[in-house]
Amino acid sequence: MKFGKEFTSQMVPEWEEAYMQYNNLKTILKEILIFRRLRQNQTSPPYQSPQKVILSERHSLYTAFSGLTNRVGNYNEENSSDTEEVILVSEIQHQEQCMHYQTMFFRSWEEGAENEIVFFKRLDDEFNKAICFYKRQVDEVVMEAEELNKQMDALFALKVKINDLNFHTSSTPPNSGLSPLDEIQETPERNQTKMVSLDILNHIKINVTPESGLSPPWRTIFDGTKSGLSFSKSELRTAQAKLKQAFVEFHRKLRLLKSYCFLNQLAISKIMKKYDKVTSRNASKAYLEMVKSSYLSQSDEVVKLMERVESAFITHFANANRSLGMKDLRPRAKKAKHGVTFFVGCFFGCLISLVVAVILTIHARDLLKSAGRDQYMTNIFPLYSLFAYIVLHMLMYAGNIYFWKRFRVNYAFIFGFKPTTELGCREILLLSSALLVLTLAAVLSNLEMEMDERTLSFTTLTELVPLGLFIVLLLIMICPLNIMYRASRFFLIVNLWHCVCAPLYKVTFPDFFLGDQLTSQVQLLRTVQFYICYYGWGDFKRRSNTCNQSSLYEFLNIFIPIIPYWFRLLQCMRQGFEQKEYRPAMNGLKYLLTIVAVVTRTLYVQRRGTTMRIIAASSSGVATIYNTYWDMVKDWGLLCKDSKNPWLRDKLILPSKSVYFIAMVMNVILRLSWMQTVLDFYEAPWLHQSVMIFIVASLEIVRRGLWNFFRVENEHLNNVGKFRAVKSIPLPFSYEDGQGTMIH
């Protein structure tokens, strides 16, 4: 792999703009190389053959390369005297308190030197940008280290108080005489000489855990801290868990900074060696000496902090077990398993076989013209469509993951997945293909259209196959054993619980993202409702039900679809109270309009009538216009009139702008799928009603899959704009300032 691609692949995605633009510098060097070759061809003797010119160029390049590997003795005396004074790099104090560097090029009088002047000007700009960014980040981590020191002091005092150990109360601040960088390293030897001050407990308050579903939202909104400490072990465990997570994220940021420093220095070294090779000069020595003496190379705060954080973490959060502590601080990268690819191929092969088997069975038995076809489509087809909805959603998510990875969207950080536990597109394909194989096998085993003439009923066992498959799916989902991606399953369950309990939980990105997914699975929820009615009160042995004749079922048919939108509305209300902004309220209006539209459309299907049709069409039209505007402008960040990319946004990840316009058009078209309800497409004679419902529901899932990619892309770009590469962990303790005000 060429260094340019390797450099790009190892960048922190959220810091990409802060890295050196290595490829841009390479482009300038190519222009210099082209000019030099043209000039060399023009000055070559006319009698030289093309073969000799090529050999001469190769010899010239080989000589230049040899000079880089062995600078002594590979140049003649004239070249040696010239290369010693190619550039002069000087320091300039900048207003941001970070040293800037400026390069003076001594060969500006030479023909074609304009490109070289541009090269060094661009190189200086990129290097100065890297230095300033690195210094700002180092200053931030030093301040964060000081805050972690205070938090650890409070934790030690709380631990001593709770355990009722011998303590020494001192009026002087703890750790006096130690610098913030030294305080974070708490070794056993230091703990033997340093006494914990309990006076700090009089000036702190412990933050209420915002994730607690038992605490009402207004308590977190209006009073983020408890009035005092109850000195309970539960508070101690909560504080220690939060600090442990804060240390892990802090160490991760230090690792990213160390990698950032190394990669930029390596990029400068590579580009300067390429410059020497192209121009046959020896300017890299002077420039790399400047880089070596700069803050980017000389600063050792990050390395020291990493050592101290590791020591403190191992001592206090890993029971002095270094291997256990480093496993938490530096989780190993997730390795690709060839077994996953193998089984995906096996399952897809099985799928092809099962599809062929189903088609041949339908054709051989002439089931499409069977008398029991309508009975099957009304009662059995909806049961299996539930699994098709799940599989389709998983396939869209797998496609999202593939393109997020391809275009370097840090989806794992955005969703807050634990390191090495996030599922890749292959794992999603494995699960979806396995579920689809089970579903098609169940369909094949239950593909009967006629009842037994003796019993006038279908076989009980085969009729229970859909229910059995549904129960198996639920059991796998809640299985506590560490099998079948337990971390991902429990992550989904936790976020689903947060949605159900809205607004009791603080709303995070995974919570409202999952809530939006549920709004596109309305038909799946209705199918679950049908499962309960069909197997609970219907005669499944005869494939008959009276669900639609029940007033309770009709009411639930109105109530069930609005549940996901109600969850999102409550989440928006919670966000509005916490953020004190109008945007969550405007977002909540979108779901309120959708609730009205869904209710009116369902009432029209149940009661019909011209008046209900007009109301349903009007409410659905208003909701569609508002939702479409919110999708494109707010969720996707598009339709920016003054953007450098007209009607898009300034920053785009996809290389082709047309993809964004196609996605916007597709979003509008797929959002209009509700029109089949008011236009009575359900009653089309050439297509069964159950199939039409399935197609419309599938189109909504496809639309949600498209929405997912651009929504996460926009969130990623927001993180990039703020250089957010690590999670912000809420610290457990708040301090009082001199006036009694709490500082969080």
Instruction: Evaluate whether 437 touches 358 at the Cβ level (below 8 Å).
Output: no
- Give tens-digit pLDDT for 427-482: 999 999 999 999 999 999 988 877 766 776 778 888 899 999 999 999 999 999 98
Sign (positive/negative) of CA torsion 580, 584, 588, 589?
Answer: positive
Q: Please report how the helices 322-329 and 301-317 are oriented relative to each other, as an axis angle in degrees rounded to 10.
A: 120
Lowest mean pLDDT among 71-75, 139-143, 483-487, 659-663: 71-75
Q: Which residue type does 567 have?
A: F
Report pLDDT for 683: 57
Those residues with Cβ within 8 angstroms of residue 367's Cβ, 6 or more apart along the chain or in another chain: 361, 373, 447, 449
Those residues with Cβ within 8 angstroms of residue 397's Cβ, 6 or more apart along the chain or in another chain: 428, 705, 708
Those residues with Cβ within 8 angstroms of residue 460's Cβ, 6 or more apart along the chain or in another chain: 541
Residue from 569, 718, 706, 721 nearest 632 by CA: 706
Mean pLDDT of 133-139: 93
- Give tens-digit pLDDT for 364-374: 888 888 888 88
> Is the pLDDT reported for residue 246 higher than 60?
yes
Those residues with Cβ within 8 angstroms of residue 725's Cβ, 6 or more apart along the chain or in another chain: 12, 13, 14, 15, 253, 256, 410, 413, 719
Report pLDDT for 373: 86
- Give tens-digit pLDDT for 593-604: 999 999 999 998
- Is 341 in a helix, a strand, or coil? helix
In order of 86, 344, 345, 349, 527, the CA distances from 433 in angstroms are 63, 7, 9, 10, 21
> Is the pLDDT reported for residue 122 higher than 70?
yes
The count of residues in the chain is 744
Report pLDDT for 234: 79
Mean pLDDT of 112-124: 89
d(CA 87, CA 481): 65
Those residues with Cβ within 8 angstroms of residue 427's Cβ, 6 or more apart along the chain or in another chain: 340, 485
Report pLDDT for 43: 65
Instruction: Evaluate whether 382 touches 530 at the Cβ level (below 8 Å).
Output: yes
Mean pLDDT of 714-727: 87
Calculate the dihedral angle through the C-alpha atoms of 706, 708, 713, 719, rounding to the nearest 10 degrees: 170
Mean pLDDT of 329-346: 86
Per DSSP, 89 falls in state E
Confidence of residue 40 (pLDDT cuts 50, 70, 90): confident
> Is the pLDDT reported for residue 685 higher than 70?
no
d(CA 695, CA 503): 33
Residue 290, both tokens: 């400047």
Instruction: Evaluate whether 207 touches 732 at the Cβ level (below 8 Å).
Output: yes
Beta bridge partners of residue 610, listed in sequence order: none
Those residues with Cβ within 8 angstroms of residue 157's Cβ, 6 or more apart along the chain or in another chain: 174, 196, 197, 198, 200, 201
- Is 104 in a helix, a strand, or coil? strand
Lowest mean pLDDT among 118-132, 151-165, 356-370, 642-656: 151-165
Average pLDDT, the chain: 83
- Give tens-digit pLDDT for 379-396: 999 999 999 999 999 999
Confidence of residue 499 (pLDDT cuts 50, 70, 90): very high
d(CA 598, CA 606): 12
- Give tens-digit pLDDT for 191-243: 444 566 677 777 777 775 544 444 455 444 444 444 455 667 777 888 888 99
d(CA 439, CA 386): 10
d(CA 596, CA 573): 18
Per DSSP, 632 falls in state I
Q: Please report how the helices 551-579 and 583-607 are oriented relative to each other, as an axis angle in degrees rounded to 10.
A: 170
- Is 217 in a helix, a strand, or coil? helix
Percent of the chain with pLDDT over 70: 83
Beta bridge partners of residue 640, listed in sequence order: 648
Report pLDDT for 210: 45
> Is the pLDDT reported for residue 76 higher than 70?
no
Lowest mean pLDDT among 157-166, 347-356, 507-516, 727-736: 157-166
- Give tens-digit pLDDT for 310-337: 999 999 898 888 989 898 888 877 777 8
d(CA 574, CA 588): 10
> Is the pLDDT reported for residue 619 higher than 60?
yes
In order of 172, 180, 264, 299, the CA distances from 148 in angstroms are 19, 9, 29, 21
Domain residue ranges in the chain: 1-43+75-330, 338-721
Those residues with Cβ within 8 angstroms of residue 708's Cβ, 6 or more apart along the chain or in another chain: 396, 397, 400, 513, 517
